[in-house]
Amino acid sequence: MAEKTKAAELGASIRESLDRWEHIKEHGAGDPLWEDGINLNLVRNHVIYYKRKCEDELPPEEYPEEYYLETPPKVDNKFMTRDDVIRERAEMSLQEYKVNPDYLYLQSVFDEIPEKQKEEFHLMNVLNYVVGLACAIRDNDLVVMRRHEHPERYTESFTECREKIEKYLGGHQEKEEKELPLGQLSLFDLFGLTSG
């Protein structure tokens, strides 16, 4: 009975890996760092691993039917599913970023922001989303382009960064714009205190 359970378990693992392989082949893995080919070959290795476990742990007459299903072929590690769609959406995202009012605002105030605040608000990182995507399109880096298929994540970053900078600049300008009275100044004038 234990052998039958082990066979069913290994058969289910093989089937699950084969289904995962087919899903990646058709839809892509969505991995933010690696090409689909790397993920396909990894899942292929899982199929091979479970089939070897069948050979090591079961007598041949107990092999599950999934054992006899074809092992997926090895693919080029650089292979990407939906490459034309990824390129098209990346181009659309780049155009959307370039006219985004929050992005344009961040560019316009860049020189007014001290280095410390640029770091604090991650201003360079946010602006580099656009530069990075442009470079990825130029270099045909589909993994980076795929991260921009849904631009909302990045446009939200533009908005959040703008809000922080506007708050900072608003407070900073208030301090600078505070008018001092003409004539001789007292400590009360300098520190915004009222006398009496």
Q: In the chain, what are the domain boundaries?
A: 2-68, 83-177
d(CA 166, CA 170): 6
CA distance 155 to 88: 18
| Total-model pTM | 0.75
- pLDDT tier for residue 179 given thresholds of 50, 70 and 90: low
> How confident is the model over 65-88, as pLDDT tens digits?
999 999 999 999 999 999 999 999
What's the whole-number mean pLDDT along residues 132-155? 95
* Mean pLDDT (whole number) for 121-145: 96
Question: Would you state the pLDDT for residue 169?
Answer: 87
Share of the chain above pLDDT 90, in %: 81
For helices 101-109 and 123-139, what crossing angle results, to 10°? Answer: 120
Q: How far does CA 32 lie from the centroid of its chain? A: 5
